[in-house]
Amino acid sequence: MRISRRAFIQTAAAMGASLAWGGEARASMVKWTEKRDLYPEGVASGDPDPNSVILWTRRPFGEPRRHVLTVEVAEDDTFRRVVAQAKAPVLASADWTTRVLVGGLKPAHVYWYRFTDAKGNGSRIGRTITAPAADDPRPVNFAFVSCQSVNEGKLNAYRRMIFEDEHAAPEEQLGFVHHLGDFIYEVVEYPDEVKTRYDRTIYEVARIPDGGKSGNLHYPLTVDGYRAVYRGYLADPDLQDARARWPFVAMWDNHEFSWQGWQSIQQAGGPPRPGQSIKVAANQAWFEYMPARVKAPSGTFETFGPPPVKDVKIEKWDANGLGDEPNNLKAINSLIAYRALRYGKHLDLIITDQHSYRSPDPFSDHSLGRLGDWKDYNGMFPDDAMQILDGGRAFSGGNPPAEIRFQEQSIPNPQRNAPPQTILGATQKAWFKDKLRKSTATWKIWGCSLGCLDWRADPENLPAGLTKKPWPKGRFANLGGGDHGSAWVERKEIYELVRDAKITGFAIVSGDRHSFWAGYAAAELPPGNFEPVGLSFVGASLASPGVMEAYEHRLAKDLPLRPLYLADRPGGAKPDWTFNMLLKHGVRSCLDYARNFDLEQARKLSNPALSPHLEFVDMGGHGYAKVRLSGDEMRTEFVCIPRPITRSERPDGGPLRYRVVHTAPLWRVGEHPLLEQQVLEGDIGLSS
Ligand SMILES: [Fe+2]
């Protein structure tokens, strides 16, 4: 199964990679003395395949602007069995980062690596693991993570992941970490300007040169600004240790470019602005700091080579909502990060980009505010109206309604002539569908940074008097927007492909929502046809604050609908998170629970039509998720930690809140997948 050196060189050349080739093992001849302070961001590896992996470090120098390190790869951590050694160029034009693709390695093998400069100053030692061969039948283990704000929290979750992995049997150890984005938050608070938010202390991350500011948030506008943020994040010791232990397979979410931005439009709390040069800068910094099998515009691995672009307002959109403006296209295509990774017999990981190609937000038209008294409903919006907006001109077979109605109000349908919403964009979607169709692995895992599960509620069942006017009967409310939980047209296109192509073992892993979710991939919910074609999971944030934390601090005490989100305990104890119950069981369960605090009785009032797609929701969880795939089963474990406000000094990263496992046997064509839930440790509260 080992590929030839010649084939490897061809692969490497396509990326412009600096490369090394594994051979006979011999003892290191390099005079290496560990000097971690000279490699302040540590080491990392990324995107393993059965024969190769990318190694990374940063070693800042002064003049001259190009230096060369030596990288060694060994079968042991004492480097007595070095199998590869190569030159690793570090350039000022890449912010002194380097990437080396090492080939000729054995599949499913643990390696150690280190970098050394000309004077013998060495990096720390990193550990990495190659992928199993495509016919390797052994089970596959990986973790998926997202949302690691070190501005507002600590990464105890990585500490726990490392601790548990070190103590796990070899066949249970993680092969890689799939990072689903918000690796950085480009919006940075400065502790001298803002001391706390919610329960959080604001920690120093970086000072952004030549950036912008909106409220308390500073954000980058140049590559040096983004680089400063990456360096600030990589100063975190737990993140450094995690990157030194496992290869990461990373994809950006929104914050690697811009909080509310999309395509090349930058927006972070203020008005949107044309940001072609900012998108290129974000791509450049991502390329420099995240070792991945991607191709830079320069055609080399040494340095990005940003294409020149102008910041021009996009005035025209094509039939798929893609901004038809040359600088926009140049900017978003300056780094194509969607890609797929084969990992043994059981895993094809297909990773997509949810921000660079998406169409204009269909839910943001100002007229929608006129449709109802939304403050009364705390963000609930009629689900059927959102489906009309999502569908645009294609809604109802090309017959969208001229007006949208709610209670006695009606407004002209603002999306009547717009194309249906796409998050993937046409080109990427075609690639994604092709990958899905051609996958031969047991499990086809879609790494989609944005969640795909609907968030609904049933305010039609509220008793009279809680809102000024009753919610219309027969209509659900939606509490989402912005992800695949409300991109019905596109989601359906993908799920119908899964169904029609008779694909089994389809599952989604996501991040972004700062909450844990487990459930089923289904195009429609009741009263539509509920027909799951796969599994769908959302992993919580590693550190970033979630909605329960925000509600504990900000939800009005006198809001009549408060019991749907928080159940206040008598005597001032911490409120229970009824929001979890709202999404899975509905308003009747929440109102009953907030009166009696009797979980069993409250669940008896569950609305079975509301969320047959959900098995588990924790809107207040933090931590990580672990997946184990075998020939007959997918097992997904949520490891939930308490709010990571301070850094735990414990070697295990501090206490657990709970550990819950959802297991699904591999289903046959035509069968519905079925999850079984098992709480292994702790208390899951109102999550199931
Ligand atoms: Fe996030």
Mean pLDDT by 10 residues, the chain (688 residues): 77 82 92 98 98 97 94 97 96 97 96 98 98 98 98 98 98 98 98 96 98 97 98 98 98 98 97 97 98 96 97 96 97 98 98 98 94 89 97 97 95 97 98 98 98 98 94 96 96 98 98 98 97 98 97 95 96 93 98 97 98 98 98 98 96 97 96 97 97
148 in Cβ contact with 250 (< 8 Å): no
369 in Cβ contact with 381 (< 8 Å): no
Distance in Å, CA 393 to ligand 1 centroid = 31
Distance in Å, CA 162 to ligand 1 centroid = 22
Distance in Å, CA 428 to ligand 1 centroid = 23
Distance in Å, CA 540 to ligand 1 centroid = 9
The answer for residues whose C-beta is within 8 angstroms of residue 577's C-beta and 6 or more apart is 548, 565, 566, 618, 619, 620, 685, 686
Distance in Å, CA 171 to ligand 1 centroid = 31
E-strand spans in 225-321? 248-250, 265-266, 273-274
Distance in Å, CA 77 to ligand 1 centroid = 35
CA distance 291 to 307: 20
Distance in Å, CA 543 to ligand 1 centroid = 9
Closest CA to 317 of 430, 432, 429, 425: 425
Distance in Å, CA 301 to ligand 1 centroid = 29
β-strands 97-103, 82-91 pairing: unpaired
588 in Cβ contact with 605 (< 8 Å): yes
CA distance 250 to 46: 8
Distance in Å, CA 154 to ligand 1 centroid = 14
CA distance 384 to 382: 6
Distance in Å, CA 54 to ligand 1 centroid = 26
Distance in Å, CA 4 to ligand 1 centroid = 41
Distance in Å, CA 254 to ligand 1 centroid = 8
Distance in Å, CA 622 to ligand 1 centroid = 11
The answer for residues whose C-beta is within 8 angstroms of residue 169's C-beta and 6 or more apart is none
Distance in Å, CA 609 to ligand 1 centroid = 30
Is the link from the previous residue into 60 a cis peptide, with omega within 30 of 0?
Answer: no
Distance in Å, CA 654 to ligand 1 centroid = 22
Report DSSP state, residue 387: H
Residue 287 burial (CB count, 10 A): 26
Distance in Å, CA 147 to ligand 1 centroid = 4
pLDDT at res. 2: 61
Distance in Å, CA 203 to ligand 1 centroid = 17
Element (H, E) at 347: strand 347-352
pLDDT at res. 21: 86
Strand partners for 477: 382, 457
Amino acid at 296: A
Distance in Å, CA 506 to ligand 1 centroid = 25
Distance in Å, CA 437 to ligand 1 centroid = 30
C-alpha distances in angstroms, 203 versus 149, 151, 235, 282? 10, 5, 12, 23
Report DSSP state, residue 576: B
Distance in Å, CA 649 to ligand 1 centroid = 25
Distance in Å, CA 509 to ligand 1 centroid = 15
Distance in Å, CA 145 to ligand 1 centroid = 10
154 in Cβ contact with 141 (< 8 Å): no
Distance in Å, CA 179 to ligand 1 centroid = 12
Amino acid at 174: L
CA-only gyration radius of the chain, Å: 25
Here the tokens at position 544 are 């970033």
Taken as a whole, the chain contains a residue count of 688
Distance in Å, CA 423 to ligand 1 centroid = 17
CA distance 646 to 335: 36
Amino acid at 432: F
3-state per-residue secondary structure call for 122-168: ECCCEEEECCCCCCCCCCEEEEEECCCCCCCCCCHHHHHHHHHHHCC
532 in Cβ contact with 561 (< 8 Å): no
Sequential DSSP letters for 446-512: EEESS--S--EE-GGGSPTTSSSSPPPTT--EE---SSGGG-HHHHHHHHHHHHHTT--SEEEEE-S
CA distance 176 to 165: 11
Residues whose Cβ atom is located within 5 A of ion ligand 1: 147, 182, 544
pLDDT at res. 9: 85
CA distance 432 to 21: 31
Residue 430 burial (CB count, 10 A): 11
Distance in Å, CA 337 to ligand 1 centroid = 19
Is the link from the previous residue into 608 a cis peptide, with omega within 30 of 0?
Answer: no
Distance in Å, CA 514 to ligand 1 centroid = 6
Distance in Å, CA 182 to ligand 1 centroid = 5
Residue 555 burial (CB count, 10 A): 18
Distance in Å, CA 186 to ligand 1 centroid = 11
Helix (H, G, I), strand (E, B) or coil at 323: strand
Distance in Å, CA 99 to ligand 1 centroid = 27
Distance in Å, CA 23 to ligand 1 centroid = 42
CA distance 577 to 565: 6
pLDDT at res. 4: 82
